[in-house]
Each structure stands twice: as C-alpha cells, then as structure tokens.
A and B are shown apart, each in its own frame.
Chain A
Amino acid sequence: MAEEVKKEAPKLFKVTIDNITIEVPPGTSILNAARQIGGEVAPPAMCYYSKLQGSGGKCRTCLVEVAAGSTADPRPMPKLVASCRTNVMDGMIVKNITSEKVIDARNGVVEFLLLNHPLDCPICDQAGECHLQDLSYEHGKESTRYEFSRRTFEKHDLGPYIQLHMTRCILCYRCVFTADQISKKRVHGVLDRGDHAEIATYIEKSLDNDFIGNVIDVCPVGALTDKTFRFKNRVWFTKPVDAHRDCPKCSGKVQLWMRGKEVFRVTARKDEWGEVKDWICNDCRFEKKDTADWTIEGPSHVSRHSVISQGHYEKLEKPNETLVKVLDGRAPKLLMDIHSVSEVNKPTVKLSAIEGPAHSDDFNTAK
C-alpha cells in the first residue's frame, strides 16, 4: 500500500498569478511558476539566476503581492515579497501586473537602480542586450529626480580578458555566485558596503580560471565586459549563429556573433529569460575567433522584441508551389528544359545537317 502511494506523482500546488491558474510541483518559486505562464506575468529579475544557487532576493524588481497565502491560511502577506525567493503554496493567489502596489514599488526599484547608473548606453557594449535597459524602458521614467553627482569608480582590468566597469554595476552578486559555483577558487567578491560597495578582486588580482569568462554572460548590465569584443561592434549589427566544436573542457555549444564571415564574439547560448544554457570555457570564448574553428548549425533564434532581431533572418521561406493544384495534380512541364521535355527538340537530329531554316518536318523523324 505504502509503495503505491510513493509511485503517485507528488501533489501539485495550484497557484493563481494575475488571475491565471496553473499547477506546479511543491518547492517552485512564484517567479518560476510565473515564468511557466510566461509573457508579462513573469516578473522581471535582475539578480535571480535559476542556474546559480542562492541567487536572488537582492534587486527587488521581482516583488509581487501575495493576496492569499494558501488555501489553509488565506491571509494576505503584509509586505510585497521577492517572488524569486518565495515558494508557492497550494491555493496561493499572487498579483503581479494586476497590483498597483507592485507596479509602484517596481517603478521605485527601477528608479533606485538607475540612480547611480551612468546611463552611458550609447558607448556601452551591453546596450541592446542589457536587462537594465529593457527594465528601464518598461518601468522607468523619462527623467530623473536625482540631482547629485553619480557614484563613479575607476575601470579595472581583471586579467587579460575581462574588464570591470564598476560604475555600471547594480550589485546583483551573480558573478560572485558564478565564480563560487563553477570555478574552484573564487578570487573576487564584494568589498565595502552600502552605496560604496564594489565588486573587486582581493588586491588587484586577475580572474584566471578556465570558466571565469561566464561572469560576462551572467552580468545583467555592462559592468563585466569581454575585452576581446569591447568597442568592436554593436550587438545589433552582428548576427548570432549557433555553432559548436569539440571542446575538451566544456560542451562546446556556443553562439557566434558574426558580421560577414568574421566572428566578433563568442558567448554561451541563452534561453528566453536571458540565462546561460551551458557554461562555456575561456578557450571557446576568447581564443576561437575564426569561422574555421566552428561547425555552424544555423542562425540562432532571436526574440522579435529584441533590437538584435533587426536585419536578422533565421531562415528563407520559399513561397508555396500551387501549380500542381491548379493543373489538377499534373506536374508542370518546364518549357525551358528543352533537351528532355520538348518534342521539337530531338538530340538525334543534327541541326547543322539541315540546310536552310529548320521546319517542323525536319524534326518529324518518324516519317
């Protein structure tokens, strides 16, 4: 009897987000449940990264209102909660874009995030694929109420490949978690506290680890940039292409950012939430900048909402052939294919042997 119970699928929790009800397994966060619904219901996330343990809860952009805690305890939660770090309960009712409180708080968070952000998008390599840019377009205001000088930092080279532009950082801690979880020894972290906290290495060390290049991919803004790509091109002028190679260190599945035959940049492939699918190694990312290094699979899918989709064609669609239908199922004969189709043209007839202009009788060999 007990075994039978075990075999049953775990009870699913019913959760209603913005009046849409779905069933998710217990232990799912509100954010991930909302992502299953997709679209606008999914709250934006600047610091949460599903592949990184312990991430999330910091940026406060994913705040949602819990109108009812669960069926067992239908009281609403007193404060807005970070959806990335709050798990669903059975019968929970969540309001995201349907709650004015949430929209107001989110606007506030975006204002706070942009307070000390330099907004140097025109010269920032991340522009076009920047999560903060997207968020500001959705929730930001057209002007700032901040009248003071913004916090600035010196740029730092973290080794030969990565440059840290701390001024743009929003302290999401993603790079710290990445280094912690995919490299053996983390050499960078957050120094100082408050609004003068900064991402830094311990005494100007360089980040050298085979996988450390991934911190560039997880960075939601342009704080960590690829030195092999800096100022080379705008991302929306390049064309993302899926490619792979046999890599002894990583899966070798990457995205090439090309212009013509030239590979400008190599990144990991990302899913629809902008999260890396497979971590890639530094060799693939920084050293293999030749088309010959890669087996190209084809153009990557780019969301049509992204600026990168401008001038980017994933495939050519040929118009449907309707001739057969029109001809009642008979295949059309190609008129120009005279050697095989035409009755007038017979290879057996030597045209040069005919004296004067040819006449149909000349071809009527049956005679």
Chain B
Amino acid sequence: MGRKVLLDKAHIEGIRYYDVYRKNGGYAAVEKALKMDPAAVVEEVKKSGLRGRGGAGFPTGMKWSFIAKPEGVPRHLVCNADESEPGTFKDRYLMEFIPHLLIEGLIVSSWALGSNNTYIYIRGEYAWIVDILEQAITEAKNNGWLGKNIMNTGFDCEIHVQRGAGAYICGEETALIESLEGKRGNPRIKPPFPAVKGVWDRPTVVNNVETLAAVVPIINLGGEEYAKIGVGKSTGTKLISACGNIKKPGVYEIDMTISVEEFIYSDEYCGGIPNGKKLKACIPGGSSVPILPANLLLKTAKGEQRMMTYESLSDGGFATGSMMGSGGFIVFDEDQCVVRHTYTLARFYRHESCGQCSPCREGTGWMEKILKNIEYGSGKMSDIDLLWDIQRRIEGNTICPLGDAAAWPVAAAIRHFRDEFEWHVNNPEESQRRNYGLAHYADERQVVVG
C-alpha cells in the first residue's frame, strides 16, 4: 500500500466543506507556514525536491527562487487549472473533492512568494468546479484564512477564480497569462520569462494545481520528510489519472516506488486489462508524450523493470522511453488501432494550435490530413516518411511546446508501430474491417488476467 498525502482524506464525507476539512487537520499548513519566514517556506519546498506536476517536471523550489523581486512591484501566483490534456483529469478530482487542499496550498505558496492577488485559471469546461472553488474561497475568507491581515501577520491575500474559454493552448503558461489579462491566448515569446514579466508585466509564478496542493503536505511533514517518499529525484506522491482499457480507471495517488507493471496489473490500482485481452501499448503521461509498446513499457531497453518515476519513464530518451508528463495514463489493449489513435491526437492538436507560428499552424493540419488518408485506406507508403519529415521540422522550431506536443505522438507512433502504418497502407480494405492486433509488441511474459 503506497503512501498517500494528497488524497488520504478525499473519501471523508463532507471534506469538500470547511468544517469537516478543518476538523481533519486542514489549514494546519497555513498556521505553520505563516509563522515561518517566506524564504524558509521556499527552502522547505526546495528541500522536498518537489517537481512541477503539470508535465515538464521542473523543480518547483528552483522556479520559486527565480522570481524577480523588484521594489514596489507586486508579484503574483497563478494556479494553472486549465487541465486540458487528453487523458489527464487528476486536477479535476482534486479540485472537485478536496478544494480546500488547493486553497490551503495557494495561501501557503502566496505567502512564500509574496503574492497578494493570486489567481486560479480554470478551464471553462470545469464550470461546476468554479462554484466549488468559489464556495471554498468564501468559506476560507469567512474563517480568516483569506482577506486582510491573515492570522495577524499583516499579510493580505485574495484568491480570484478566472474561467478559460475552451482553449487547450491556454494551459501553456504564457498563453494562460495573456488570457488572464483578457487578451487572445497566444503564447508569448520567451524571454522574458514569467518570473520576470508575467501577469501585467509583473513577476509571476505559474504552477499546476497538484504542485500547489503538494505544498501542504510538504509544510506539514517538513521538506526533508516529504523527500523521503519516492525514489531519487522523483520525490513525493503523484496523481495518476488512469484510463483506457483497464478494469479500474480513475485517479490514483502513487508514491513513485511502484513499477509500471504493478500499476497496471495490481488490484490496488488499475486491476489489469479487462475481457482477457492483452496489453498492446500505453501513453504514460498524457496525450503529448510518446506512446510506448508493451515490451518497452514494462521493461526498459536495458532490461530493467520500468518504474513509475520521472527518471525511469524517460529512461532511453525518446528512442525507447517516454515521459511522466502530467500523469495521464492511457492504456491500449490488443484491439486498439495505433493509426486511428494517432489520427485522433493529430486532429486534436490541429484544432488546438493557436495559429501564431507557421510550423505548428500549417504542420499540424498537414499531419492530420495525411493520417486521415492512411486511416481511411487511401494512404501511400511515402506518406509515412513524409509524416516523419513533417514532425521533425515542427519539433523544436515553434514558440511554445504545443508544436513539440503535436510532433512527439506522431514520431513515437511511427518509431514503434511503423509496421502497423505499413499494414494500413498495404491493406486498405482489410484495415477498414479489422485492427492490426498485437503483433510483436506484446510482452511475452505478461500475466494475462482473465
């Protein structure tokens, strides 16, 4: 049984409301942190080794220490709740069931960063969660955790909830800032980084919901104690939103000591593949990270057991590895078609490209059209190489990571499942009737749970 620090109280009846949350030890972190020096809070987060949970995995303490502190200029903390990555729904769970954990984390983080006006930018589709958060903010305010002069420390803090308008790109931090300012959500060109010029040109830190919530256990336990959870540089716990062909889809909190095999097959987590099917492939970190075939998923190229950690999942680089990403764990069984899946993702990225820079604007549309041709039986063999060439020219040449995110899934699908693409091209009629199946991707040693 893995250790839980975020969702350990999520099952308690009424934890969404302040009274129950407070009775169960809520807001202890605020009480503790506001007696500390803000710099000491940042130091605790540094010691904890917490890494950003939004996808990139950048050390949070380091990010916080980068924030510019010019005299007389207000600083801001922005919580990125624009969780739009296909396959990722961990923040939704957290905000919906224990909203006060996020509010508490925000107050502590605002204290550490000196932000008097903190924003939650939430995706527009999470309309009902806005009400839940507003309710939690009102409760926190009524009980003196927000507003003027919190706990007589002289610290003022307000939390504002801002709804997005349905754009995936607004989850990119600079696009989020533009959107928050009321402009079109186009990513900004960096530098300057938000830590220097963010919201209204003021120093800003943008963090994911889970990252900010994780500040609460860090303060409660102490940074060093928190760092003991997990392995190596993957400290603490991570929320994984598992979906796809598994028996028990849902949000799981793992402590980054378990293996991928255990995560998929154990009854504590996903519970294995339903209907006696076999595992074919998996996207371990949300739609934009590379897809891995079963044989490379369970064991690394070196033959080691692949663990659910930042390092182990990215072992082997993009050639034989993937990324932890945002924790959107999508499992495919033998009945799934990789070409169709890649086409679906390409369609998503085409739709969500902001259209600002040319490689992403034009390239995503082109890839989608080619993949559509292959999927619907009118593809050519040269299209596969063309796709490879297009993704290569998008990756790294765009303003923001959306270009990379659109290129990686296509690259990985061709890298690992090229024969499936070729089969689609060679058997246009048959590919409309049945799926390619398992082929050689399956892990021979895997346990088939009936």
Residues of A within 8 A of B (CB): 56-61, 63, 79-80, 82, 85, 104-105, 108-109, 111-113, 115-116, 145-146, 148, 170-171, 173, 189-190, 192-197
Contact = CB atoms under 8 A, between A and B. Distances in A.
Interface string B340-370: 0000000000111111111101111110010
B393 interface: yes
B362 A63 contact: no
B352 A60 contact: no
Contacts of B38: none
B389 to A, nearest CB: 8
B359 A195 contact: no
B299 to A, nearest CB: 29
Given A85-B189, A145-B386, A108 B355 contact: no
Nearest to A104: B393
Contacts of B397: 60, 63, 79-80, 105, 108-109
Contacts of A193: 167, 169, 352-355
Given A105-B393, A192-B355, A197 B386 contact: no
Contacts of B184: 189-190
A82 B386 contact: no
A63 B354 CA distance: 20
B354 A195 contact: no
B398 interface: yes
A2 B362 CA distance: 54
Nearest to A191: B184
Name the residue among B355, B358, B393 with the largest chain A CB count within 10 angstroms.
Answer: B358
B386 A195 contact: no
A171 B398 CA distance: 15
Contacts of B353: 193-195
Contact of B362 (A56, A58, A116, A173): A116
A171 B361 contact: yes
Contacts of B189: 56-57, 82, 85
A108 B399 contact: no
B396 interface: yes
B351 A194 contact: yes
Contact of A171 (B167, B350, B356): B356
Contacts of B386: 145
Given A109-B397, A190-B355, 17 more contacts: A57-B357, A60-B397, A80-B397, A105-B393, A108-B393, A112-B359, A112-B393, A115-B362, A116-B362, A145-B386, A148-B369, A171-B355, A173-B356, A189-B184, A192-B355, A194-B352, A196-B355
A115 B386 CA distance: 14
Contacts of A111: 393
Contacts of A58: 356-358, 399
When A and B form their complex, which 10 residue pairs have the shortest distance between CB atoms, in order from nearest? A108-B393, A197-B355, A112-B362, A57-B189, A194-B353, A195-B365, A115-B362, A79-B396, A194-B355, A112-B358
A197 B361 contact: yes
Contacts of A61: 358
A194 B358 contact: no
B199 to A, nearest CB: 17
A129 to B, nearest CB: 21
Name the residue among A79, A112, A113 with the largest chain B CB count within 10 angstroms.
Answer: A112
Nearest to A110: B358
Contacts of B167: 193
A79 B353 CA distance: 20
A196 to B, nearest CB: 8
Interface string B375-395: 000000000001000000100
Nearest to B395: A79
A189 B365 CA distance: 22
Given A57-B357, A60-B398, A109-B359, A195 B393 contact: no
9 contacts: A58-B358, A60-B398, A105-B397, A112-B359, A112-B366, A113-B358, A113-B362, A170-B358, A195-B362
B361 A57 contact: no
A58 B398 CA distance: 8
Contact of A195 (B355, B396, B399): B355
Contacts of B398: 60
Name the residue among B351, B359, B363, B386 with the largest chain A CB count within 10 angstroms.
Answer: B359
A197 B364 CA distance: 13
Interface in B23-49: none
A111 B358 CA distance: 10
Contacts of B369: 148
Contacts of A57: 189, 357, 399
B303 to A, nearest CB: 30
A146 B369 CA distance: 10
Contact of B350 (A85, A108, A145, A195): A195
Contacts of B352: 193-194
Nearest to A80: B397
Contacts of B361: 112, 171, 194-195, 197
A116 B350 CA distance: 14
B324 to A, nearest CB: 20
Nearest to B189: A57
A320 to B, nearest CB: 52
B186 to A, nearest CB: 8
B355 A112 contact: no
Contacts of B354: 193-194, 197
Name the residue among B356, B357, B362, B364 with the largest chain A CB count within 10 angstroms.
Answer: B362
Contacts of B366: 112, 115, 146, 148
A79 B359 CA distance: 14
Name the residue among A63, A82, A111 with the largest chain B CB count within 10 angstroms.
Answer: A111
Nearest to A112: B362
B116 to A, nearest CB: 28
Contacts of A196: 355
A170 B397 CA distance: 17
Nearest to B382: A145
A224 to B, nearest CB: 18
A343 B399 CA distance: 85
Nearest to B393: A108
Contacts of A85: 189
B395 to A, nearest CB: 9
B358 A59 contact: yes
A60 B358 CA distance: 7
Contacts of A56: 189
B380 to A, nearest CB: 9
